[in-house]
Amino acid sequence: MGKAVSKPLKLPTFPQQLFYGYVVVGAAFFILLVAFGTLYSFSLFLRPMVAEFGWTRAMISGAYSLCMLLSGLLAVVMGSLTDRFGPRIVVAVCGLFLGIGYLLMSQINAIWQLYLFYGVIAIGMSGSFVPVLSTVARWFVKKRGMMAGIVVSGIGIGTVIMPLIVSRLAFAYGWRISYIFMGTMALVFIVLAAQFLRRDPAQMGQLPHGESEMKVDVLNLGAGEFSLREAILTREFWLLCAMLLCFGFYLQVIIVHIVPHAIDLKISAANAASILAIIGGISIAGRITMGGVADGIGNKPALIICLIIISVTLFWLMAAIELWMLYLFAVTFGFAYGGLAALILPIVAELFGLSSLGKIMGAFIFSIAIGEAIGPVLAGSIFDVVGSYQIAFLVCAIAGVISIALISLLRPTISGVRDEDF
């Protein structure tokens, strides 16, 4: 009888024929759909709250601005926690905060409650964009731009679906029921989707898509990777921060005030809500299309294209007084804004590498949040004083032009990357 031959123990790995990165992309897509779809429904509550409580638009918009600022500040922390502990627990806990915040909003009766509960919502939102996008970047090397575009298209689809559902619920049952619906969605679906996230391919016995094992080792260990402290010392970090601040400013002016602006022009509430839905829907095409374009022509040229379109459409908005003109604005702005959002992750990864991507992305999201905090409350204050959004839209258009100049100054930061290839 021969001696039994012992076989070396092999660790279980995920089946190679099914790349788990696509599961991560699907989960990340769904998380952003629910998180941003509910958040971007805020404008639908502005006029009902003015009618019920007598608060000004600036007062109500201030709570949203606080949410943007706080979530951006906490995004730095969430990015760091994701780098250390992985996205699953970070996103799940933040999903709990988001759901609880919306449920509490259904019970408000005082202005301090509005600000407090949107502070809770901010904690929830801080664990959405940075953790899922930095995770997707670790799973894909090739097609990173396209995958980022697919993931952030969840924001666009959420902006289409959620405002329409919320507006119908508010019309039939009141705005408080709409908040209960949003809170339930966040509690159930974000927490569930978070369980499918994995920090990197090594956890599943796989490699990043598009890289050999040798190249992955170089990517993870090679020189040229930036820590957050090192990134802050570069000119490109501050140029990108300034551009993203402008982006956050005009984006949230539109998201928060385009619906009440349209209603002020005697457009029906249903058609006004459809403008926001069109922005979200068309942004899906922009996110996927420009992510693929960037993979071909480079991130910087693709970003400049998006910024030029945004600037032109913001000037157009100042003259838009009829529904078809607002629809045209929604189509062009939505496409360009979606494309720009999809390019944030690839250009940050290209400039500063992957080793501290969560922290660095968190810092850039905070820059966006500063603009997001200033934009809605400033636009609301301008309206309260002059009774029109025209000045606010002009400031947005100027910010768009400044953004083009800032991005044109970007240069490669990692050695070996030629300026003409950037």
Q: pLDDT, tens digit, for every residue of 59-118? A: 888 898 889 889 888 888 888 888 788 899 999 999 999 999 999 999 999 999 999 999
pLDDT of residue 29 exceeding 90 = yes
Poorest-pLDDT segment among 150-159, 203-212, 366-375: 203-212
pLDDT bucket at 422, cuts 50 / 70 / 90: low
Q: Are 84 and 399 in contact (CB under 8 A)?
A: no
Which of the listed ranges 239-243, 371-375, 382-386 does the model predict with the highest average pLDDT?
239-243
Which of the listed ranges 88-97, 127-136, 283-292, 295-304 does the model predict with the highest average pLDDT?
88-97
* Cα–Cα nearest to 41, from 96, 92, 102: 102
pLDDT given for residue 188 in this prediction: 93
pLDDT given for residue 211 in this prediction: 61
Mean pLDDT of the chain: 84
Q: Side-chain half-sphere of 317: how many Cα atoms within 13 Å?
A: 33
User: What average pLDDT score do residues 201-220 get?
Assistant: 59
pLDDT of residue 33 exceeding 60 = yes
Give CA–CA dist 365/362, Å, rounded.
Answer: 5
Q: Which domains does the chain have, with CATH numbers?
A: 21-210+222-415 (1.20.1250.20)
Q: State whether the Cα torsion 16-22-23-24 is positive or negative.
A: positive
Give CA–CA dist 266/294, Å, rounded.
Answer: 40
pLDDT given for residue 7 in this prediction: 46
| pTM, to two decimals | 0.73
